[in-house]
């Protein structure tokens, strides 16, 4: 691949280059203190004009760095990038005249109204005053914000903010549109709307789009995909090519005799199994190339029903990662031995009980009359977009925030009267591993065991357990900050488990994490659940919902539906969605709720 270095010819309307974007051998290091981080390592790619190219990869893959390099906000250590034939390094202003870029946290001015934000970006992008009214109307209609133009941007919902950001980015139609994780944390309805805007732009305005995302299920909506992992491009091409490569290798396994977790545990170590992961009530199985799923030899699996399913993008990603690491599903060691807990065998007891819980902030009801109960050893999920009330519920369950009304019990303790006692029963793992980066692994373990009040022999025993169980012993003196993401996550889990809690709270534990790490993490969580630990997960990530035994879907502070992921998905099965996904179910529920609440609003 050669770098396009010919001088910029500012006659873009007539020229029709074969490539929109040429990325040639880009390497970029970051130096933070004494550490040297390779964000991008010899990345090369091209994109075709008039298509949506997805830049797909887990957090830390280098997506944002690549976006910023294309936008001329960063300089590469080596390699070159050209946009429609103009070299970014040589003439960043010319490139910035051709592109629009929506950063991950788009720079909306929250103290300006929707219209004032549009005015600002129209001025900045040099949109002629005469054409503005028509352009605004078009954008507002497209984003559904027409009735909110005088509202402060800070008062919009998360999805609306994202759409306004997109409208500002599009105020002058760019030739190349860069969108950095536009759909992260956005509710599924807004996500679908954002995607339909992007599709519309490409078709009607023949715009070229580069969109980054950590959601693997979005790959299939792109015309072409660049798969980035740890700073390296590990795959490129239409998403169909990725799934075609997996033809005949994806299956679903069900067993009447074994629980889904037992079934998964039995499948993972088998020869020829690339991947086995819980999906609803079944186990999704990916076999090595050329291996048929025949488990007749396995007595345990004799009743397993194996049916072929359509491969998905993630199957290929896992396959590529396994090939790269030279491992199979079985070679990945996971925690297995957790001592079964000695506790009164009241198996049916509800460990977490939430009854008509309400949290008001002034007039606003962040949590509006929700009730649910979680049994011992259950993995229970709270699924909802940012702002649905998940975090508020979580904080009340941790005893960090008093409820306005309703009853909250954790392990038999009422949080209104015995919050500290209840808190002692639970372990908490925050979304962004809240460990001390400057301390070593051992120092962190010591600190957290001390913080949980462990002393003497018990502390020694627990730190030894953590080092052994999570294979952290070789890294005990390593500075936590320098650990690879996967180890940080293990360590965060170890710290949350130091005091052997009966209940474990996980806040979006694997959103944006690479699929192998996610599998490893959930295998540990499954083991914990089997040992009797009750697990409560909050997430906006549809995939994480699949790992839960039961879950509730939350929106606007209320619970829209509860049940197993299978039940929720089947509830919205219709002609249009013969095999609905969790996202389809979510959208159906929100739309049903809107339909229900709107007539009421009109009547009021």
* Interface positions with other proteins (CB under 8 A): 68, 71-75, 92-93, 96-97, 99-112, 116, 119-126, 168
Closest separation between CB of residue 183 and other proteins, Å?
17
Closest separation between CB of residue 69 and other proteins, Å?
10
State in Å, rounded, how far the first CA of the chain is from the last one: 64
Residue 162 or 534 with smaller CB distance to other proteins? 162
| 3-class DSSP state of 154 | helix
Three-state SS string over 228-252 comes to: EECCEEEEEECHHHHHHCCCCCEEE
Residue 27 or 581 with smaller CB distance to other proteins? 27
Residue 75 or 244 with smaller CB distance to other proteins? 75
Closest separation between CB of residue 299 and other proteins, Å?
57
Give the tokens for residue 91: 């003439």
Closest separation between CB of residue 95 and other proteins, Å?
9
What is the rounded distance in angstroms from the CA atom of residue 88 to the CA atom of residue 102?
Answer: 17
Q: Which residues fall within 8 angstroms of residue 484, CB to CB, at 6 or more apart?
A: none
Closest separation between CB of residue 178 and other proteins, Å?
8
Where do we find the tokens 């720079």?
A: 107
Residue 148 or 317 with smaller CB distance to other proteins? 148
Closest separation between CB of residue 158 and other proteins, Å?
14
Residue 210 or 263 with smaller CB distance to other proteins? 210
CA nearest neighbour of 471 among 335, 337, 339, 327: 335
CA nearest neighbour of 415 among 393, 383, 434: 393
For residues 62-100, one letter each, b for 16 or more C-beta atoms within 10 angstroms of the residue's C-beta and e for the rest, the string is bbbbbbbbbbbebebeebbbbbbbbbbeebeebbbbbbb
Contact at 8 Å (CB) between 196 and 185? no
What is the rounded distance in angstroms from the CA atom of residue 346 to the CA atom of residue 190?
Answer: 43
Closest separation between CB of residue 30 and other proteins, Å?
8
Going edge to edge, which strands form the sheet with 208-213?
99-102, 176-180, 208-213, 52-56, 224-229, 232-237
Closest separation between CB of residue 587 and other proteins, Å?
28
What is the rounded distance in angstroms from the CA atom of residue 325 to the CA atom of residue 328?
Answer: 9
Q: Phi/psi at 333 (nearest 5 deg)?
A: -75, 140
CA 404 to chain CA centroid, Å, is: 31
Closest separation between CB of residue 128 and other proteins, Å?
9
Residue 119 or 230 with smaller CB distance to other proteins? 119
CA nearest neighbour of 224 among 211, 237, 206, 212: 237
Closest separation between CB of residue 39 and other proteins, Å?
11
Residue 10 or 484 with smaller CB distance to other proteins? 10
Contact at 8 Å (CB) between 390 and 160? no
Residue 31 or 34 with smaller CB distance to other proteins? 31
What is the rounded distance in angstroms from the CA atom of residue 472 to the CA atom of residue 493?
Answer: 12
Where do we find the tokens 């949350």?
A: 496
- DSSP letter for 174, please: -
- Which neighbouring-strand residues pair with 380? 536, 550
Residue 178 or 494 with smaller CB distance to other proteins? 178
Closest separation between CB of residue 97 and other proteins, Å?
5
Contact at 8 Å (CB) between 582 and 542? yes
Residue 52 or 102 with smaller CB distance to other proteins? 102
Residue 123 or 468 with smaller CB distance to other proteins? 123
């Amino acid at each position: 691949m050669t770098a396009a270095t010919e001088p910029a010819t500012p006659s873009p309307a007539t020229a029709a280059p074969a490539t929109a974007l040429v990325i040639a051998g880009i390497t970029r290091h970051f130096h933070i203190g004494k550490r040297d981080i390779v964000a991008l390592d010899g990345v090369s790619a091209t994109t075709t004009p008039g298509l949506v190219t997805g830049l797909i990869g887990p957090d830390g893959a280098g997506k944002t760095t690549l976006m910023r390099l294309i936008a001329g906000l960063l300089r590469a250590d080596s390699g070159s990038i050209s946009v429609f034939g103009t070299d970014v390094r040589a003439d960043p202003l010319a490139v910035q005249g051709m592109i629009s870029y929506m950063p991950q946290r788009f720079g909306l001015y929250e103290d300006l109204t929707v219209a004032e934000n549009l005015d600002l970006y129209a001025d900045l992008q040099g949109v002629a005053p005469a054409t503005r009214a028509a352009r605004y109307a078009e954008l507002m209609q497209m984003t559904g914000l027409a009735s909110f133009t005088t509202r402060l941007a800070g008062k919009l919902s998360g999805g609306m903010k994202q759409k306004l950001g997109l409208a500002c980015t599009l105020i002058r139609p760019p030739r190349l549109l860069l969108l950095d994780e536009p759909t992260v944390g956005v509710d599924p309805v807004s996500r679908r709307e954002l995607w339909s805007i992007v599709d519309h732009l490409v078709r009607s305005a023949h715009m070229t789009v580069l969109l980054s995302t950590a959601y693997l299920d979005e790959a299939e909506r792109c015309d072409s995909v660049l798969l980035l992992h740890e700073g390296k491009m590990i795959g490129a091409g239409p998403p169909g090519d990725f799934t075609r490569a997996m033809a005949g290798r994806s299956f679903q396994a069900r067993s009447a005799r074994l629980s889904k977790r037992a079934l998964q545990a039995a499948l993972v170590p088998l020869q020829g199994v690339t991947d086995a992961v819980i999906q609803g009530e079944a186990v999704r199985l990916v076999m090595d190339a050329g291996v048929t799923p025949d488990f007749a030899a396995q007595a345990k699996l004799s009743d397993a029903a194996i049916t072929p399913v359509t491969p998905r993008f993630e199957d290929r990603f896992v396959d590529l990662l396994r090939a790269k690491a030279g491992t199979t599903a079985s070679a990945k060691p996971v925690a297995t031995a957790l001592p079964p807990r000695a506790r009164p065998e009241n198996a049916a007891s509800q460990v977490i009980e939430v009854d008509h819980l309400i949290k008001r902030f002034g007039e606003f009801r962040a949590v509006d009359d929700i009730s649910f109960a979680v049994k011992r050893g259950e993995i229970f999920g709270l699924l909802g977009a940012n702002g649905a009330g998940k975090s508020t519920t979580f904080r009340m369950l941790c005893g960090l925030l008093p409820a306005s009304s309703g009853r909250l019990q954790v392990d038999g303790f009422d949080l209104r009267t015995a919050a500290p006692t209840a808190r002692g029963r639970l372990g908490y793992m925050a979304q962004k591993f809240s460990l001390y980066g400057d301390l070593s692994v051992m120092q962190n373990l010591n600190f957290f065991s001390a913080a949980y009040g462990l002393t003497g022999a018990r502390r020694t025993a627990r730190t030894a357990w953590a080092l052994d169980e999570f294979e952290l012993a070789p890294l005990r003196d390593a500075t936590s900050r320098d650990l690879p993401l996967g180890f940080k996550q293990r360590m965060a889990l170890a710290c949350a488990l130091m005091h052997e809690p009966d209940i474990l709270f996980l806040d979006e534990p694997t959103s944006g994490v690479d699929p192998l790490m996610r599998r490893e993490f959930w295998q540990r969580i499954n083991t914990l659940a089997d040992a009797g630990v009750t697990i409560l997960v909050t997430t906006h990530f549809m995939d994480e919902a699949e790992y839960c035994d039961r879950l509730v879907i939350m929106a606007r502070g209320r619970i829209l539906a509860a049940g197993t992921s299978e039940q929720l998905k089947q509830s919205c099965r219709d002609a249009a969605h013969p095999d609905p996904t969790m996202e389809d179910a979510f959208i159906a529920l929100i739309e049903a709720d809107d339909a229900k609440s709107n007539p009421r609003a009109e009547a009021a």
